[in-house]
Each structure stands twice: as structure tokens, then as C-alpha cells.
């Protein structure tokens, strides 16, 4: 879920121009702007404009074309940013107001030309003319502003592979044979069949609910949040179908309601709606884009609820959504869930590509400050972490630490107390990519960095382009945090070679208490299609992610544990147009892979349950799926997992068993959805408060006074040699403050 500041989103060609020359190439200007920002901080000055956004304005003022460095298509050049969004001379931005002056900031932003404006909380989002970037310095109500970095899960995966579908399919193991298409099946009435049918219907057993119980989603409204519905970017080619054609082919309902169409995109929202229609052809579908900034996304969630949505599903990540605190999008999810809306979100396509640790001082200084010691033992100090980035590959890293977010918190608690940078070096110790350099103190504790290995770096003394680079985490000012994490979004072939903790990557609004986070399994690996054991997609994001702060920014006495992902749904199913080139069955129909596909499939299954029992509360829907799910094993643990695990949640959704569970276990307990006092909406029944369990005290200090790593429920203090094992995960389930919804009881947790 990429907010206000891309604190140092540095692009692929940073090594191509010297930082001191003022070269007008985009990489050179970005590097220069980064150095200027750090110099300004050391002089006690601070700009409210993110350095990357400022570099964009500086570059274009010097005559460079926007198209030279900002992609507008699905086929980016190797030097393009993955996250900066520029269309028609405007850049998508998220601005954050000084405390209690959001209305004043909205007025000032409109005056400098901001279009498609939405305000939510402290955020003001919209599309800003690139020529107006410099004018933002003078806004009295602005605390900070940066690019609104949003992406769908599927688009991100495609961009990281350069839209090489064979490479992407090979990465997912999808070039082997797959089950035959269901285009000619007899699972639904002939009048309800589309030209292209999804195999998810059979994989989730929703076909049984339709054929045996007559359930088809009638009377249920489903809201969808993604990039676009019917606004395909011509730069990406021509889609095989349009919304009009899909409706004519019975692959979409004829009465789709559009609350807000998105900017030019890849119509991933429509692809999600294709999948929903195959499972729940009579459900009403309502679309709202999530691609007009953080404020628009959060506002869109509430607008869908107000428009009558019973279920909402999204497949979007804003990279700078908080990890250790609930951001405004997560809070919007919790709000609509309290009003009776079941919310399903893609868990993510990032597996366990994450590093988490306490900050340990190495005694060595880097470009930006004192470096972190990656080696948790007392044996030696390792101040740089080796990362393998083959030529032609790219990485995008999101780094955060335990500090409250200014953009979320109230005046008394808001703002980071620590400023940390992330710097990537070549073998000669030269900077090739950087983390944020705008200064986090008093702002948000997040850095985003990006690097593309274009083959021009050769600093290791060996013939040919370098593939090994060195990552430094550098404390610029403030107290060392007790926990910090980076998540790498990367091409296949990228590998962290030292002290990688393989931590959880579900974060942001997918980690919200009110959300059901959905992982992915290839439909052809599910029981209706295979007798082999279920296997989670390798890319499907794992948990956990602990919460250290309340939404107002105050520190919790004990961290909160959240059992994510919740469940798993099928992906890789047929669609009319998405994604062109992905066709493992060779049946001529494109296949939609990733948790972006799994989430709408599960949301559609939920609509059948609500049709059968309209008074079900969201938590009861979640409980039905979890308690009846087909158990799966987390391949990253040494033992056979039973029940919940951090890789597969409670397992694969089985809609047939979920309906049985509702009728035999849930309904006898009484009605679910009730009117919450003063809300006028539909919410969960009151749930019993669970007492928090104590966090283990920090370990003793090392000789010399340095604090060893203390990770309550986080990475182990010993030297890691791979993914955390099942016993460690089991301990984590029993540690910390157990903030879980009514679908997870102590017995379930103990069983893991």
C-alpha cells in the first residue's frame, strides 16, 4: 500500500553521472539533489519537498523531456522509475499538512495547480503540474510532499521482470503443463457463462454452492479498488478486450457502477471484476480507483461503503504505508469493517524478501552516518550487506523503523525521532543508489530506494559488469531503533547474501485488523485439479508484522501480534485479456497470477455466503473461511504445520465447507451484523477483550555497553542461517499483545 515521501527514491543511472558535475541526466540530477539535501540538513535547513520530486522539477526546467525518464507504459525502459507516476505533464503527489491545517493546505495546493484533489486526514493528494514543483517551497501549511508511489501487485511483478512473461512464468514455475480451460464446463447456467471462465470456481468449491444451493451473489454489492477499469494506456499496446466487449461476451455484468475511473493504467481492476463475475455473476460490482494518491484511496474505501458495498477488495500497495503502525488506509479499512463491510486485500507478492533487526552500532561511518552491524554475534563487525543484483535486474527497497508516523499521528505523538538512511555501494565504495536523504526527524520513518543494474558499473577489478553490491543502513541522527525492517521488491535473480532474516512482508492495510489478507496458490495445485499436496506460490507474502504504536502515535506497552495472511485463494486462472502472454494451458486465454487474482476470487466466494446469510458480520465471514480452510504447509518451516502458519495462514478457502461451518457453528450462536451505537451501519457483535501477554525483557548488554538485538516476536538474536523455523514462529504466536479478531482464539493459536 507509497505515501507522502519517497525519501530518496533513487534511480537506475545514479552511477552514470558524477554528483558534483550538475549533469542534466536524470540520474545525475537526482544524485546531486540528494547531496544538496544532505548538505542542507547538516546546515540545519530542511526542505518540505522530497528530493526526488525536486529533482524531477529541476531536470525538466533544464529542458529534459518527461518521457526520457518517467514511464507511462507497462514496458518501462531500463532507466525508468518503478514508482514515479507522470501523465500529461503532471506528477501524482501526496502532500501532508502541518497539524490541524489540512483545509488550508488543500486551498494552497489548488492555488499552485493541483488537480483531481482529495483530502483525507492530514493528506492532500492529486496531480500536480511538474512546472509547479518549485512553488511548493513557499506553502505555509505544508509539512512535506513527495510522489504518491502506488502499484498493483501484478503490475509490480511485471515491471520487475521487464514484462518478460516467460521469465515471470518461469519464476513462478508455470511453464509446466496445466489443467484444461473451463471455458466449456457445465458448472454454471448457460445464460450466466462468459466466453472465458475462471478455474477458481472449481478450486474454491463455489461451483457446489451455485449448483446445489442456487447461490450466485444475488443481492450482494462488491466494491473493487485497483488502477483502472476501462482506461488502458495506449503506450502499453492494445488490450484484447474492452469493458464493452467483456459485457457483450458475458464476462462482466451489464450494470457495473463506476464511482471513480483511474488514470491511464492496465485495467487490472477490470480483470479482477472478470474473476468476480465468474464466481458471483449476479453480484453488483462497484469500482473506485486507488491510483489518485493516499487520500483518494482511503476516501475511496469509505465511498464504496457509502455506496452500499457489502464486500470490498483491493490489490494495491502504497509502498510507504506504515509497517509498525496503522496508516490512514488501514484505519479506513477498520472503519468500514466496523460498519459491516468485509474487506479482502492482496497479501502481496513478496514472499519473505525482508530483513529485520534492531539497530546495532558498528563503530564505522558511512556516507550518511554511523553504520549498522549486520552480524548479530560478538565475533566480528559486518557493516555492509552483500546483495547480488545481476545485470538487467532491479531492486526497490522499502525501509522503516520503530518510530511514529507524523502523517498518521496526533500533534503530541507524531513524528520520527530518528533519521536513518539506506545507501547502496559498489565494490570501490562509491554510491550507486541511495535511500532517503530529506531528513526523517519530525516526519515519517520510511526510506525508499531503487537501483537498476544496467551493466555500466565495473568496480570489482574483474572483467565485466559487477553483480555484487553492498548495502549500508546508516544512522544520521537520533536514538537507535529497537526494530527496523527493509522489504525488497526485486527481479528474479536478486539475492541478499549475508544475514538475511527472511522476515514477513505483509504490511500496510493488508495487515489491518479489519482486513482479510489473501495469499495465493496456483489453481492447478488445488485438490480439484491435482492429487499432490497444496503448495503456496513462492512469491505469496508471509507474515508476521508487529504493531508498536496506536493510530494516534502513542507507544503501546506491548507490541500487537497479527496473524497474517488470513487465508489463501487460487490464482493463475483464465481471464479475457489479463495478462497477455501468460497462458500455461496454451488454450488461448491469458492467465492472471498473483495475490491480485487470489483476493477477488475469495471476495467473490464471500458474496455467496452473504447471499445465503445476509446478517453475517465480517468477522463471521472471516471465521467461516478460516475454520473450514483446507490446511496447507508452510514450506519455509522444517516441520509439517497444522492449522495457522505465517506462510499460508489458515489455508485454502473451501466455500462449501465454509457454508456448512456457518450453519452448524456460527448461526447457532445468534445473529451477527448489528447496528453499532450511533453509527447507523452494520458491525460485528462485541468481542471479548483478550489480555495482552508480556513481552520478554531485553537481553543483557554486550561488554563495552552496546545493546544486543532485542526483537520482541521479531528476528532471532542468534546468527540467522535461513528462514525462521516453526518453533520460533510458534513462540512468536504466544508472545506480545495478542490483538486478534474474534475468528482467532487461544486454542487455535496454541495449535500452531
CATH of the domain at 483: 2.60.120.380
144 and 87 part of one domain: yes
In terms of Cα–Cα distance, which of 266, 5, 288, 313 is closest to 159?
Answer: 266
Distances 466 to 146, 159, 426, 705 between C-alpha atoms, Å: 32, 22, 8, 38
Across-strand partners of 448? 398
Please list the helix, strand and coil fractions of the chain in percent, rounded to the nearest 5, in that order: 25, 20, 55
Question: Who contacts 135 (Cβ-Cβ below 8 Å, separation ≥6)?
Answer: 112
Query: In which band, very low, low, confident or very high, does the pLDDT at 580 lie, cut at 50, 70 and 90?
Result: confident
| 253 within 8 A of 285, measured Cβ to Cβ | yes
Residue 392 burial (10 A CB sphere; 0-12, 13-18, 19+): middle
Measured distance CA(105)–CA(97) in Å, rounded: 6
Total domains in the chain come to 2
Measured distance CA(202)–CA(331) in Å, rounded: 34
Q: Is residue 683 part of a domain?
A: no
Q: Which of 321-325, 458-462, 685-689 has the lowest mean pLDDT?
A: 685-689
User: Is the backbone peptide bond immediately before 576 cis, with ω within 30 degrees of 0?
Assistant: no
* Residue where one domain finishes, among candidates 445, 469, 496: 496
Measured distance CA(713)–CA(717) in Å, rounded: 11
Query: In which band, very low, low, confident or very high, does the pLDDT at 36 lie, cut at 50, 70 and 90?
Result: low
Measured distance CA(193)–CA(212) in Å, rounded: 17
Q: Is residue 7 part of a domain?
A: no
Opening angle at CA 239, ends 238 and 244, nearest 5: 115
* Residue where one domain finishes, among candidates 441, 462, 496: 496
**What would the mean pLDDT of 427-447 be, rounded to a whole number?**
83
- Whole-number pLDDT of residue 579: 84
For 343, the enclosing helix (H) or strand (E) is strand 342-346
- Whole-number pLDDT of residue 410: 92
331 and 235 part of one domain: yes
**What would the mean pLDDT of 186-192 be, rounded to a whole number?**
40
**What would the mean pLDDT of 194-222 be, rounded to a whole number?**
94
In terms of Cα–Cα distance, which of 728, 749, 736, 750 is closest to 691?
Answer: 736
Measured distance CA(163)–CA(171) in Å, rounded: 13
Measured distance CA(289)–CA(300) in Å, rounded: 7
Query: In which band, very low, low, confident or very high, does the pLDDT at 33 lie, cut at 50, 70 and 90?
Result: low
305 and 327 part of one domain: yes
If one counts every other C-beta atom within 10 angstroms of the C-beta of residue 485, the result is 25
- Whole-number pLDDT of residue 730: 32
- For the packed helices 618-628 and 595-612, what is the interaxial angle rounded to 10 degrees? 110
Q: Which three cell numbers stand for residue 394?
A: 532491479
192 and 321 part of one domain: yes
Task: Please write the tens of the pLDDT for every residue from 491-531.
Answer: 888 999 999 999 999 999 999 999 999 999 999 999 999 98
Task: Please write the tens of the pLDDT for every residue from 538-564.
Answer: 999 999 999 999 999 999 999 999 999
Dihedral sign for Cα atoms in the order 592, 598, 599, 604: positive
pTM, 2 dp: 0.84
Q: Is residue 507 part of a domain?
A: no
Measured distance CA(691)–CA(244) in Å, rounded: 53
Q: Is residue 281 part of a domain?
A: yes
If one counts every other C-beta atom within 10 angstroms of the C-beta of residue 186, the result is 10
342 and 364 part of one domain: no
* Model confidence at 342: pLDDT above 80: yes
- For the packed helices 206-213 and 595-612, what is the interaxial angle rounded to 10 degrees? 30
In terms of Cα–Cα distance, which of 215, 210, 217, 220 is closest to 188?
Answer: 210
Query: In which band, very low, low, confident or very high, does the pLDDT at 678 lie, cut at 50, 70 and 90?
Result: very low
User: How remote is the C-alpha of 47 from its chain's centroid?
Assistant: 28
In terms of Cα–Cα distance, which of 371, 348, 345, 381 is closest to 514?
Answer: 345
481 and 532 part of one domain: no
519 and 476 part of one domain: no
393 and 533 part of one domain: no
Distances 695 to 201, 548, 560, 737, 738 between C-alpha atoms, Å: 43, 12, 10, 8, 11
376 and 481 part of one domain: yes
* Model confidence at 298: pLDDT above 80: yes
- Whole-number pLDDT of residue 442: 93
Measured distance CA(645)–CA(726) in Å, rounded: 8
If one counts every other C-beta atom within 10 angstroms of the C-beta of residue 36, the result is 17
Measured distance CA(698)–CA(717) in Å, rounded: 11
More confident residue, 24 or 136: 136
CATH code at position 314: 3.40.50.200
Please compute, for residue 166, the number of CA atoms within 13 A of its CA located in the half-sphere on the CB side: 0
Measured distance CA(415)–CA(405) in Å, rounded: 5
- Whole-number pLDDT of residue 197: 86
- Whole-number pLDDT of residue 752: 28
Q: Is residue 435 part of a domain?
A: yes
| 312 within 8 A of 336, measured Cβ to Cβ | yes
If one counts every other C-beta atom within 10 angstroms of the C-beta of residue 462, the result is 11
In terms of Cα–Cα distance, which of 20, 205, 105 is closest to 605?
Answer: 205
Query: What percent of the chain shows pLDDT beyond 70?
Result: 75
* Residue where one domain finishes, among candidates 669, 693, 728: 669
* Model confidence at 632: pLDDT above 60: yes
Looking only at the bridges linking them, the beta strands covering 419-425 and 468-477 are antiparallel
Q: Is residue 706 part of a domain?
A: no
288 and 211 part of one domain: yes
Measured distance CA(333)–CA(328) in Å, rounded: 9
When the pLDDT of each residue in the chain is averaged and rounded to a whole number, the result is: 81
- Whole-number pLDDT of residue 521: 97
Measured distance CA(100)–CA(750) in Å, rounded: 45
291 and 203 part of one domain: yes
Q: Is residue 734 part of a domain?
A: no
Q: Is residue 727 part of a domain?
A: no
Q: Which structural domain, as residue segments, surrounds residue 93?
A: 14-150+352-496
| 406 within 8 A of 442, measured Cβ to Cβ | yes
- Whole-number pLDDT of residue 413: 86
| 370 within 8 A of 362, measured Cβ to Cβ | yes
Question: Who contacts 698 (Cβ-Cβ below 8 Å, separation ≥6)?
Answer: 707, 710
In terms of Cα–Cα distance, which of 618, 613, 629, 589 is closest to 274?
Answer: 589
Measured distance CA(642)–CA(653) in Å, rounded: 16
582 and 663 part of one domain: yes
- Whole-number pLDDT of residue 47: 84
- Whole-number pLDDT of residue 162: 63
Amino acid at each position: 500500500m507509497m505515501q507522502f515521501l519517497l525519501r530518496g527514491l533513487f534511480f537506475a543511472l545514479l552511477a552514470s553521472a558524477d554528483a558534483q558535475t550538475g549533469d542534466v541526466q536524470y540520474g545525475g540530477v537526482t544524485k546531486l539533489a540528494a547531496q544538496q539535501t544532505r548538505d542542507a540538513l547538516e546546515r540545519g535547513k530542511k526542505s518540505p519537498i522530497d528530493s526526488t520530486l525536486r529533482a524531477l522539477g529541476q531536470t525538466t526546467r533544464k529542458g529534459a523531456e518527461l518521457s526520457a525518464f518517467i514511464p507511462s507504459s507497462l514496458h518501462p525502459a531500463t532507466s525508468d522509475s518503478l514508482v514515479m507516476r507522470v501523465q500529461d505533464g503532471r506528477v501524482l503527489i501526496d502532500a501532508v499538512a502541518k497539524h490541524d491545517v489540512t483545509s488550508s493546505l488543500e486551498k494552497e495546493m489548488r492555488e499552485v495547480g493541483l488537480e483531481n484533489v482529495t483530502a483525507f486526514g492530514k493528506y492532500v493528494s492529486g496531480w500536480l503540474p511538474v512546472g509547479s514543483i518549485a512553488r511548493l517551497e513557499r506553502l505555509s501549511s505544508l509539512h512535506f510532499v513527495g510522489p504518491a508511489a502506488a502499484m498493483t501487485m501484478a503490475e509490480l511483478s511485471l515491471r520487475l521482470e521487464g514484462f518478460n512473461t516467460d521469465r515471470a512464468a518461469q519464476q513462478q514455475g508455470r511453464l509446466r503443463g496445466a489443467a484444461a480451460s473451463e471455458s466449456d464446463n457445465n458448472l454454471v447456467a448457460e445464460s450466466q457463462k462468459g466466453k472465458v471462465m475462471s478455474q477458481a470456481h472449481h478450486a474454491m468449491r463455489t461451483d457446489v454452492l451455485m449448483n446445489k444451493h442456487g447461490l450466485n451473489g444475488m443481492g450482494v454489492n462488491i466494491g473493487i479498488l485497483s488502477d483502472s477499469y476501462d482506461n488502458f494506456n495506449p503506450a502499453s499496446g492494445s488490450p484484447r478486450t474492452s469493458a464493452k466487449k467483456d459485457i457483450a461476451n458475458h464476462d462482466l455484468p451489464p450494470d457495473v457502477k463506476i464511482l471513480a475511473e483511474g488514470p491511464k493504467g492496465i485495467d487490472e481492476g477490470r480483470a479482477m471484476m472478470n474473476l468476480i463475475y465468474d464466481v458471483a455473476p449476479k453480484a453488483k460490482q462497484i469500482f473506485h480507483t486507488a491510483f489518485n494518491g493516499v487520500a483518494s484511496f482511503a476516501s475511496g474505501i469509505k465511498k464504496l461503503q457509502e455506496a452500499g458495498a457489502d464486500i470490498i477488495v483491493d490489490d494495491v500497495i502504497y509502498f510507504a504505508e506504515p509497517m509498525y503502525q496503522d496508516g490512514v488506509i488501514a484505519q479506513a479499512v477498520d472503519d468500514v469493517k466496523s460498519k459491516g463491510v468485509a474487506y479482502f486485500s492482496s497479501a502481496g507478492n513478496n514472499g519473505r524478501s525482508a530483513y529485520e533487526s534492531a539497530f546495532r552500532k558498528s563503530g564505522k561511518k558511512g556516507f550518511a552516518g554511523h553504520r549498522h552491524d549486520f552480524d548479530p554475534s560478538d565475533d566480528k563487525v559486518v557493516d555492509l550487506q552483500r546483495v547480488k543484483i545481476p545485470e538487467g535486474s532491479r531492486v526497490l527497497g522499502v525501509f522503516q523503523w520503530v518510530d511514529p508516523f507524523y502523517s498518521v499521528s496526533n500533534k503530541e505523538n507524531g513524528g520520527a525521532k530518528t533519521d536513518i538512511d539506506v545507501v547502496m555501494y559498489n565494490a570501490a565504495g562509491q554510491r550507486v543508489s541511495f535511500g532517503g536523504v530529506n531528513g526523517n526527524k519530525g516526519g515519517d520513518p520510511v526510506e525508499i530506494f531503487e537501483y537498476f543494474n544496467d551493466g555500466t558499473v565495473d568496480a570489482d577489478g574483474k572483467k565485466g559488469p559487477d553483480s555484487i553490491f553492498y548495502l549500508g543502513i546508516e544512522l544520521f541522527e537520533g536514538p537507535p531503533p529497537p526494530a527496523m525492517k527493509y522489504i525488497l521488491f526485486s527481479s528474479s535473480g536478486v539475492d541478499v547474501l549475508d544475514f538475511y532474516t527472511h522476515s514477513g512482508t505483509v504490511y500496510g492495510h493488508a495487515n489491518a485488523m479489519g482486513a482479510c489478507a489473501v495469499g495465493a496458490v496456483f489453481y492447478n495445485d488445488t485438490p480439484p485439479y491435482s492429487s499432490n499436496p497444496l503448495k503456496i506460490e513462492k512469491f505469496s507474502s508471509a507474515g508476521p508484522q508487529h504493531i508498536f504504536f496506536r493510530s494516534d502515535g502513542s507507544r503501546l506497552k506491548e507490541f500487537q501480534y497479527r496473524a497474517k495472511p488470513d487465508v489463501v485463494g487460487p490464482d493463475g486462472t483464465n481471464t479475457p485479456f489479463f495478462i497477455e502472454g501468460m497462458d500455461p494451458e496454451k488454450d488461448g486465454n491469458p492467465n492472471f497470477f498473483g495475490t491480485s487474482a487470489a483476493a477477488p476470487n475469495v471476495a467473490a466466494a464471500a458474496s455467496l455466503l452473504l447471499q445465503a446469510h445476509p446478517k453475517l458480520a465480517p468477522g463471521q465471514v472471516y471465521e467461516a473461511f478460516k475454520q473450514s480452510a483446507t490446511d496447507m504447509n508452510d514450506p519455509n518451516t522444517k516441520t509439517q504445520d497444522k492449522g495457522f502458519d505465517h506462510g499460508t495462514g489458515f489455508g485454502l478457502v473451501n466455500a462449501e465447507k465454509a457454508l456448512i461451518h456457518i450453519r452448524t457453528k456460527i448461526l447457532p450462536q445468534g445473529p451477527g451484523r448489528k447496528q453499532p451505537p450511533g453509527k447507523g451501519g452494520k458491525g460485528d457483535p462485541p468481542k471479548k477483550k483478550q489480555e495482552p501477554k508480556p513481552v520478554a525483557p531485553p537481553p543483557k548488554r554486550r561488554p563495552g555497553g552496546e545493546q544486543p538485538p532485542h526483537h520482541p516476536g521479531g528476528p532471532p538474536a542468534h546468527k540467522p542461517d535461513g528462514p525462521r523455523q516453526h518453533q520460533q514462529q510458534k513462540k512468536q504466536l504466544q508472545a506480545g499483545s495478542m490483538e486478534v479478531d474474534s475468528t482467532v482464539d487461544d486454542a487455535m493459536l496454541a495449535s500452531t
